[in-house]
Amino acid sequence: MSRMLFSPYTIKGVTMKNRIVMSPMCMYSSDTKDGQTRDFHLAHYEARAIGQVGLVMLEATAVVPEGRISDQDLGIWDDAHVEGLTNVVNRIQAHGAKAAIQLAHAGRKSMVEGDIFAPSAIAFQEDMRTPVAMTTEKIDETIAAFKQGAKRAKDAGFDVIELHGAHGYLINEFLSPLTNQRQDEYGGSLEERYTFLRKIIDQVKSVWSGPLMVRLSAAEYAEGGNKMEDFVQFASWLKEQGIDLVDCSSGAVVPAKIPVFPGYQVKYAETIRNEATIATGAVGMITSGLQAEEILRNERADLIFIGRELLRNPYWALQAANDLNTEIEAPVQYQRGWN
């Protein structure tokens, strides 16, 4: 029997050779505060492509300098970033994988020097800085920065773009009533809180026609936050705007205790997939091929995002194939000694 985990998946003419996605994970390795790639990024991402991951997604990459989580984050706010990102893309694609990038803005969770920005002037927690509430002019500038980031991603040759709308960063801050207390068109009702993301998507799509994903934190683990029906509505609007897949994570918009167990976020991907009728990605403590295959076979998600397991083992795809008693094609350089 063929294994669904190792079946191709196509979005808008881009075909991934399997359903395994390297989840975006910050590496804090742009060590001179300039947002540029380093040799580490080349080796890190290329290794997962050699390891037969179908879609290798780069970490949260900031569209403006103050949108970095840390000084060591990658950037895409300047044309000077394109060359380094292109080198990473080429290394990934050389091994038959597709390359993705997550465009991001850290909002009030940014740790860089200077002013930080959010929809409302509310600190994440007591020991963190209070952000500056964004003016409409600042919002317009930020939306334009996402557009320019998408254009640079296209210039660098990426196959897929993901917008980071999760984990308490800027887009998530606009979506959540816990962090958005605005009284203008960007705050209030569910639809008004979606306005910022809606405008970002419209602008990104004006320069990008390829596969476009959005990561959501589909549970906030706090009283007064968005509920599952709200995330289903967000996903329905995303589908209307032409988003191809919702990458379903959870938490981190406010400090909260999260109950973690194997596959703890899969139910969010399953619910959104079924109720909003949009493709989803499942992520979170998925550690084996058998677990991943179950999720796909039971139509709980369409793609499997692997995070920490791919940090532990760049060849996780081979391990998953062994779990499923199936064979995958080795890199041509390895074929003589693969078996």
Q: Tens-of-pLDDT digits for all 339 residues of the chain? A: 689 999 999 999 999 999 999 999 999 999 888 999 999 999 999 999 999 999 999 999 999 999 999 999 999 999 999 999 999 999 999 999 999 999 999 999 999 999 999 999 999 999 999 999 999 999 999 999 999 999 999 999 999 999 999 999 999 999 999 999 999 999 999 999 999 999 999 999 999 999 999 999 999 999 999 999 999 999 999 999 999 999 999 999 999 999 999 999 999 999 999 999 999 999 999 999 999 999 999 999 999 999 999 999 999 999 999 999 998 877 777 766 545
Q: Strand locations in the chain, DSSP E? A: 9-11, 14-16, 20-22, 55-62, 98-104, 117-118, 132-133, 160-165, 212-217, 245-249, 280-283, 303-306
Residue 47 confidence (pLDDT): 97
Q: Residues 239, 277: contact at Cβ < 8 Å?
A: yes
Q: Can you give the pLDDT at residue 31?
A: 85
CATH superfamily of 4-333: Aldolase class I (3.20.20.70)
**What pLDDT, on a 0 to 100 scale, did the predictor assign at position 336?**
60
Hey, is 190 helix, strand or coil? Answer: helix
Q: Give the pLDDT of residue 329.
A: 78
CA-CA distance, 49 to 143, in Å (whole number)?
32
Residue 80's CB is within 10 A of a number of other CB atoms, namely 12
Helical residues (DSSP H) of 51-103, grouped into ranges? 82-93
Q: What angle do CA 42, 45, 51 make, to 5 degrees?
A: 125
pTM of the complete model: 0.97
Structure tokens at 140: 């317009």
| 218 closest CA partner among 197, 241, 247, 243 | 247
pLDDT score, position 248 = 98
Using H for helix, E for strand and C for coil, what is the string for 100-151? EEEEECCHHHCCCCCCCEECCCCCCCCCCCCCEECCHHHHHHHHHHHHHHHH
pLDDT of residue 2: 82
Q: Residue 335 has what pLDDT?
A: 66
d(CA 111, CA 205): 30
Q: Domain coordinates of the chain in residue numbers?
A: 4-333
Report pLDDT for 77.
98
Query: What is the pLDDT, as a whole number, of residue 337?
Result: 55
